[in-house]
Amino acid sequence: QTLSAKAATALDKELMSTGAFSIDQLMELAGLSVSQAVYRVHPISRGPRILVAVGPGNNGGDGLVAARHLRHYGYQPTVYYPKRSKNELYQRLAKQLEDLHVPFVDDFPAALASTDHVVDAIFGFSFSGEVREPFPAVIQAMQDTKVPVTSVDAPSSWNIKEGPPKSGVGSAFHPDVLVSLTAPKPLVKYFTGRHFIGGRFVTPAIADKYGFDVPDYEGIDQVVEVGPNGHKL
Ligand SMILES: NC(=O)C1=CN([C@@H]2O[C@H](COP(=O)(O)OP(=O)(O)OC[C@H]3O[C@@H](n4cnc5c(N)ncnc54)[C@H](OP(=O)(O)O)[C@@H]3O)[C@@H](O)[C@H]2O)[C@H](O)CC1
Ligand SMILES: [K+]
């Protein structure tokens, strides 16, 4: 069962209205899920350096939260955040990282040359059209690198319904890991790597309304691994 971009937006709105959640709470749990997925696929023994690519919207916010948790786990995150939002929430998330001495860098390809893992938190379910500046070079670098990439909610540059662009930047971008938040989006049809579901905040009633199952999270886990297309393993 997948969630269209429209349904995912509606679900988010519903959680924040009738569900009584704040965006900070949802983002904290989303980012915590991402950090746990990274911990599973890339234990610190594989190399502590994690480059987090942060976009201008909420997908980027999830990345900022994940970077903070990863730092607390003992990783050495570095953040690439070229289009900073003036929104107070993002400013606080960035300040929290600065207080942990997490470096912010301007040159993504250069940072990529000295990292062990990448978190792609550039675009999520509100992405559409062709990738605009300054992101084409970033997508291209993630497409070309041998460093493993974990994408948050969607491989950035992919159409939420149609998957990878037919040509140009992103058309050959296939991240190693995907963390779908609340439920997979239709693009998972084109995804072949390790797949996790996170965002452990959905009530059974909401899942029912939007036509998906709450995943079987184990114990205190914030993520559950599923098949590439979202089926139970
Ligand atoms: N319930 C949940 O699952 C939650 C998920 N969360 C995360 O939120 C994102 C969706 O966040 P949203 O803010 O709606 O949008 P995105 O982050 O996906 O992207 C919006 C920004 O991207 C820019 N954009 C869009 N298209 C392009 C493009 N072609 N080129 C360049 N930039 C683009 C857009 O810019 P505009 O100029 O159009 O304004 C936006 O700035 C979801 O995927 C989850 O990761 C929440 O954290 C919590 C709940
Ligand atoms: K992403």
Q: What is the pLDDT of residues 65-92, one digit of tens each?
A: 999 999 999 999 999 999 999 999 999 9
CB 75 within 8 A of CB 50: yes
Whether the complex's predicted ipTM is more than 0.95 is answered with: yes
pLDDT band at 230 (very low <50, low <70, confident <90, very high): confident
Dist. CA 198–CA 225, nearest whole Å:
9
Residues whose beta carbons lie less than 5 angstroms from ion ligand 2: 120, 151-152, 156
Atom of ligand 1 nearest to the CA of 126: 18
In this structure, which CATH number among 3.40.309.10, 3.30.910.20, 3.40.50.10260, 1.10.3720.10 belongs to the domain 5-226?
3.40.50.10260
Output the ligand 1 site: residues, CB below 6 A. 11-12, 26-27, 30, 55-62, 123-132, 135, 152-153, 181-182, 199
| Ligand 1 centroid to residue 219 C-alpha, Å | 30
Long-range contacts of 111-114 (CB under 8 A, 24+ apart): 111/51, 111/78, 111/80, 112/51, 112/141, 112/142, 112/145, 112/147, 114/49
Peptide bond into 134 cis (omega under 30): yes
CA 85/CA 77 separation, integer angstroms: 20
pLDDT, position 229: 86
pTM for this prediction: 0.98
Calpha distance 95→67 (Å, rounded): 12
